[in-house]
């Protein structure tokens, strides 16, 4: 008779082999006892790259960053009890951002549930509706042939019809491990799992023709939202229609060698004063970061079409006249081939004039963050990763990045838009090895909120630029700024030694003024390991210059009549 430890090992190996066969290439593991069979199966699998991180919360955000960069599911493993609950913030982000994670939660067996057993909680409903699927396995048994099919199913559910997290709860009885030599691999049995072919959604040809007919010859605007989008097909469609593209910085359309002649990067500024009255809005991707764009969209009389690649309803303003569930690249290519005529003469040039006027305003007295961001963008090599934190960092990138032919991948956690886990997510994306260099831009509170995430950077070459404006400066631009409790309850400046916090994890630290950022960045990019560039920002000057810019934008009087 097989020992329980050996049964556990074979069971775990069959599940992990099935996940790898279905396309999982990374496992992020937090140490624990009950998860030992699964941890060993991951660590000993020759086709799986494993990373061990102590803190489950940081590990989950690290896995999320990897999934974002890799574009395929990442396995996340921890032991039972409160360890699993530490995943919750990252599971929320994965749900909202539609990122595929496979959550392998080790558990106690049924006889230890609901009876006061140590380190045992109900793990079956922990994440609720944030999961795409939940699979409760029985305790390990001798017949594990069916696990390859379960693994293929779980990976598919994490990718389609709505990408996101899938949990597999895996209880183990003791003894957890077998005595003696390691259990043999059961990789041959894992090959029995099915190969899954996912669809590429595209409306019927008659619907494509109808869309092209409705958009041809009309004044329209394409809005490319806050998630990576296929740049070339969208700009080809913009060229066929002769429409401008208002591109969010996270869309990917601002950076690269594709045609950027219709890509506008200053809409957050010019829409504060310019009046655009298109006939049609065509929106791809997540809702844009920019509040002026959101306000403009909400107030339009134009018809609005929203393209969604999955089953989620992408219309927070309830303004859409048309929801198109389709692959963005396939739809853009199909419509661009049958457009009959471009927009009326002068439409694109009018929008471009507003863009040029806004860019001129930004050059007069730019906020310090604008100067720093342009320095960073100029100093990054091509094919780099730029990870941008939430609050003011992503908004300033939106306002001041401009466009460039340099190919950059811009990522951020905009699913739930939290400041938690940003550093760990950045290091996860950087660990993918897909980028020539990896740089993050975060605010001081975002940095301090994820100090535990600094551990995830060990062994990775990356640079974190901290824009330190002494607290939550984004609230300076909101009504809370006038309250007597503003500093204590919203600005929340922190007393922290950034250098000491950085050195806990063996990273390098330097404080760099904005006028010395170029050489500081060059030195950091040439240094192995993680470099923290602490960049002080004069908050009062920043707030004053932002306000002056926005006041200047109010004077822009371009009209779309």
pLDDT in tens, 287-308: 999 999 999 999 999 999 999 9
E-strand ranges in 505-550 read: 508-511, 530-536
Judged against a pLDDT cut of 90, whether residue 558 lies above it is answered with no
Mean pLDDT of 457-478: 92
Identify whether the C-beta of residue 207 lies closer than 8 Å to the C-beta of residue 331: no
Q: How confident is the model at residue 492 (pLDDT cuts 50, 70, 90)?
A: very high
Q: How confident is the model at residue 182 (pLDDT cuts 50, 70, 90)?
A: low
Q: What confidence tier does 163 reach under pLDDT thresholds 50, 70, 90?
A: very high
Confidence tier at 185 by pLDDT (50, 70, 90): very low
pLDDT tens track for 541-552: 999 999 999 999
For the residues 319-330, what does the mean pLDDT come to?
97
Token digits of residue 208 = 């494509």
Question: How confident is the model at residue 190, as a pLDDT?
Answer: 44
pLDDT (average), residues 56-61: 98
CATH number given to 4-190: 3.40.50.970
Mean pLDDT in residue range 231-238: 98
Where would I find the H helices in 36-135?
A: 36-43, 56-70, 82-85, 88-97
Under 8 Å CB-to-CB from 293, ≥6 apart: which residues?
223, 246, 267, 268, 271
Predicted local distance difference test score (pLDDT) of residue 186 = 42
Q: Residue range 516-545: average pLDDT? A: 96
Q: Do residues 337 and 400 touch, judged by C-beta distance below 8 A?
A: no
Tell me the residue ranges of DSSP E strands in 269-413.
Answer: 280-284, 303-308, 322-325, 384-388, 408-411
Same CATH fold, 205-361 and 4-190? yes
Alpha-carbon gap, residue 475 to 264, rounded angstroms: 27
Which pLDDT band holds residue 188 (cuts at 50, 70, 90)? Answer: very low
Rounded to an integer, what distance in angstroms lies between the CA atom of residue 509 and that of residue 254? Answer: 31
| pLDDT recorded at residue 409 | 97
**Predicted local distance difference test score (pLDDT) of residue 560:** 39
Please check the confidence at residue 187 and state whether its pLDDT lies above 50: no
Domain 365-551 has CATH 3.40.50.970: yes
Q: Going by CATH, does the domain composed of 205-361 fall within 3.40.50.2000?
A: no
Q: What is the mean pLDDT of the chain?
A: 94
Predicted local confidence at residue 181, as pLDDT = 59
3-43 pLDDT tens trace: 999 999 999 999 999 999 999 999 999 999 999 999 999 99
Q: Is the peptide bond before 161 cis (omega within 30 degrees of 0)?
A: yes
> What residues does each domain of the chain span?
4-190, 205-361, 365-551
User: Are residues 251 and 347 in contact, defined by beta-carbon separation less than 8 angstroms?
Assistant: no
What pLDDT, in 10s, does the model give residues 391-417?
999 999 999 999 999 999 999 999 999
- For the segment 228-236, the average pLDDT, to the nearest whole number, is 98
Element (H, E) at 245: strand 245-247
pLDDT at 467 over 80: yes
234 has a pLDDT exceeding 50: yes
What's the pLDDT band for 193 if we cut at 50, 70, 90? confident
- Segment 97-108 mean pLDDT: 97
Confidence of residue 110 (pLDDT cuts 50, 70, 90): confident
Q: Which of 215, 127, 115, 201 is nearest to 164 (CA)?
A: 127
What is the mean predicted confidence (pLDDT) over 60-66?
98
Label residue 554 exposed, middle or buried (CB < 10 Å: 0-12, 13-18, 19+). exposed
> Is a pLDDT exceeding 50 seen at residue 528?
yes
Judge whether residue 559 has pLDDT over 80: no
């Amino acid at each position: 008779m097989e020992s329980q430890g050996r049964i556990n090992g074979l069971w775990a190996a069959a599940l992990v082999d099935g996940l790898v066969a279905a396309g999982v290439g990374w496992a992020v593991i937090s140490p624990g006892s009950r998860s030992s069979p699964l941890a060993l199966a991951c660590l000993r699998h020759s086709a799986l790259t494993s990373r061990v991180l102590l803190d489950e919360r940081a590990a989950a955000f690290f896995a999320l960053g990897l999934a974002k960069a890799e574009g395929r599911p990442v396995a996340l493993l921890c032991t039972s009890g409160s360890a699993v609950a530490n995943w919750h913030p990252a599971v929320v982000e994965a749900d909202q951002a539609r990122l595929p994670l496979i959550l392998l939660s080790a558990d106690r067996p049924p006889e230890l549930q609901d009876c006061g057993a140590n380190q045992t909680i109900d793990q079956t409903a922990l994440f609720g509706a944030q999961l795409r699927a939940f699979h409760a396995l029985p305790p390990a048994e001798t017949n594990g042939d069916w696990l390859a099919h379960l693994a293929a199913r779980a990976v598919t559910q994490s990718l389609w019809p709505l990408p996101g997290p899938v949990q597999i709860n895996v209880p183990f009885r003791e003894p957890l491990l077998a005595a003696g030599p390691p259990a043999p691999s059961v990789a041959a049995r894992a090959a029995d799992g099915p190969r899954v072919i996912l669809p590429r959604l595209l409306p019927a040809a008659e619907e494509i023709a109808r869309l092209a007919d409705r958009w041809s010859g009309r004044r329209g605007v394409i809005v490319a939202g806050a998630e990576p989008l296929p740049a070339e097909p969208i700009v080809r469609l913009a060229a066929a229609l002769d429409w401008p593209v208002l591109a969010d910085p996270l869309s990917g359309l601002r950076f690269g060698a594709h045609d950027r002649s219709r890509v506008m990067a200053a809409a957050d500024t010019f829409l504060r004063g310019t009046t655009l009255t298109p006939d049609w809005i065509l929106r791809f991707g997540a809702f844009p970061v920019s509040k002026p764009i959101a306000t403009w969209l909400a107030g339009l009389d134009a018809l609005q079409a929203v393209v969604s690649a999955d089953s989620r309803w992408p219309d927070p303003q309830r303004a859409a006249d048309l929801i198109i569930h389709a692959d963005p690249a396939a739809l853009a290519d199909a419509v661009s081939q049958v457009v009959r005529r471009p927009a009326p003469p002068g439409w694109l040039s009018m929008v471009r004039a507003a863009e040029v006027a806004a860019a001129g305003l930004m050059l007069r007295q730019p906020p310090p963050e604008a100067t720093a961001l342009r320095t960073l963008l100029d100093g990054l090599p091509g094919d780099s990763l730029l990870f941008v934190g939430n609050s003011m960092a992503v908004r300033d990138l939106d306002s001041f990045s401009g466009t460039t032919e340099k190919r950059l991948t811009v990522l951020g956690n905009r699913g739930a838009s939290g400041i938690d886990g940003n550093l760990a997510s950045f290091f996860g994306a950087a660990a993918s090895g897909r980028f020539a260099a990896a740089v993050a831009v975060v605010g001081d509170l975002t940095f301090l909120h994820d100090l535990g995430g600094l551990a995830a950077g060990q062994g990775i070459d990356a640079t974190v630029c901290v824009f330190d404006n002494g607290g939550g400066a984004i609230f300076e631009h909101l009504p809370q700024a006038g309250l007597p409790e503003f500093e204590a309850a919203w600005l929340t400046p922190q007393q922290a030694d950034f250098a000491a916090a950085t050195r806990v994890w063996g990273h390098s630290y330097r404080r760099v003024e904005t006028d010395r950022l170029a050489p500081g960045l060059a030195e950091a990019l040439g240094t192995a390991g993680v470099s923290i560039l602490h960049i002080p920002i004069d908050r009062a000057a920043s707030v004053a210059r932002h306000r002056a810019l926005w006041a200047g934008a109010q004077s822009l009087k371009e009209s779309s009549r």
